[in-house]
Amino acid sequence: MDHLLAGLRAAAEPTRLRLLALCAHAELTVSELTQIVGQSQPRVSRHLKLLVEGRMLDRFREGTWAFYRLADDGPCADLARTLVDLVPADDPQLGRDLERLGAIKDARAKAAHAYFARNAHRWNQIRSLHVEEGSVERALIEILDVPAGGTFLDVGTGTGRMLEIFGPRVERGIGIDLSHDMLSVARSQLERAGLRNCQVRHGDMYNLPIGAGTADVVTVHLVLHYADDPAAAIAEAARVLKPGGRLAVVDFAPHELEELRSEHQHRRLGFGDAEVESWFHAAGLNPTGSRKLPGTPLTVVIWTATRPEIPSIAKNRSAA
């Protein structure tokens, strides 16, 4: 009871309810929330502090940035979601806030698109600046053991390197990327490799142009740190997996290299095991472990999960 009352007191103020609603739509920093609600940073920080203390928001720090999002669990997580759902969808103030949030997301997307366009032709070189790609590729081959004759999907395929590696092992390989410049490079690479069973398509990691239950294996290779909503990207990858299919997420362990934000458009400075596994669980996947590959200065982690098999009718009858 005390927790619920504390949560209600924390949210019972117009600006704090606005902040709660915004953090239900995206992970946001203090400066972004300040831009949206049009108030001073100290005032917004005070409101956020009260919402965190009331267990309505989670706060997590990465380098010099702190992100806020709706509480994932705890005594007031359900209350927070309920209050957000009760805000009328046609509320004028909420509508203006979401328009400003949309503008911030658009600005992020344009900056990332410009970066990828500038660097598409030397993308593999940029990746190799921070981790030795060969060791990652060998570990992926060992961990995934991609079945012959299956369908392989690479989300955020970039130059198509994952398709080059796994394409010869599968019947069908598909790469998805939002950057037309990247896709041009990937098509050239696949043609050069003679991988006629592989193709690339323009698409968004949050809305893959692939049917549900299509892929035997999905990889998300050094992409998640660009995502505004990593949990949603993993949920979408899980959607397209067949029962028994495997997902591999390759990304960085938590680090402090702020220049990757300013120079390379990284949204997140790595991920912890518990965070990634919580996203797997939320997407209906079973985590199957992780492997850390230390580098200088970054450590790459491969997290894997499987989509549960659908019990057969025969098994259900025997169980009954």
Each residue's pLDDT tens digit, 116-148: 667 666 555 555 555 677 888 999 999 997 878
More confident residue, 173 or 1: 173
- At 284, phi and psi to the nearest 5? 80, 20
Task: Quote the CA–CA distance of 54 and 83 in Å, as a whole number.
Answer: 13
CA dihedral 21→258→114→193, nearest 10 degrees, is -110
Indicate the SS3 state at residue 227.
coil
DSSP character at residue 24: T
All domains of the chain in start order, with CATH: 2-87 (1.10.10.10), 122-314 (3.40.50.150)
Q: Locate tokens 């580098």: which residue? A: 295
Let me know: does 146 contact 216? Beta carbons within 8 Å: yes
Judged against a pLDDT cut of 50, whether residue 187 lies above it is answered with yes
Task: Quote the CA–CA distance of 230 and 206 in Å, as a whole number.
Answer: 9
Q: Which of 67, 80, 86 lies closest to 7 in space, CA to CA?
A: 80
Question: What's the pLDDT tens digit per position in 264-306?
Answer: 778 899 999 999 999 999 999 999 999 999 887 889 999 999 9
More confident residue, 180 or 95: 95
- pLDDT range class, residue 35, cuts 50, 70, 90: very high
Tokens of 166: 């796994």
- pLDDT range class, residue 317, cuts 50, 70, 90: very low
DSSP character at residue 53: H
Task: Quote the CA–CA distance of 320 and 318 in Å, as a whole number.
Answer: 5
Of all residues in the chain, the percent with pLDDT exceeding 70 is 90
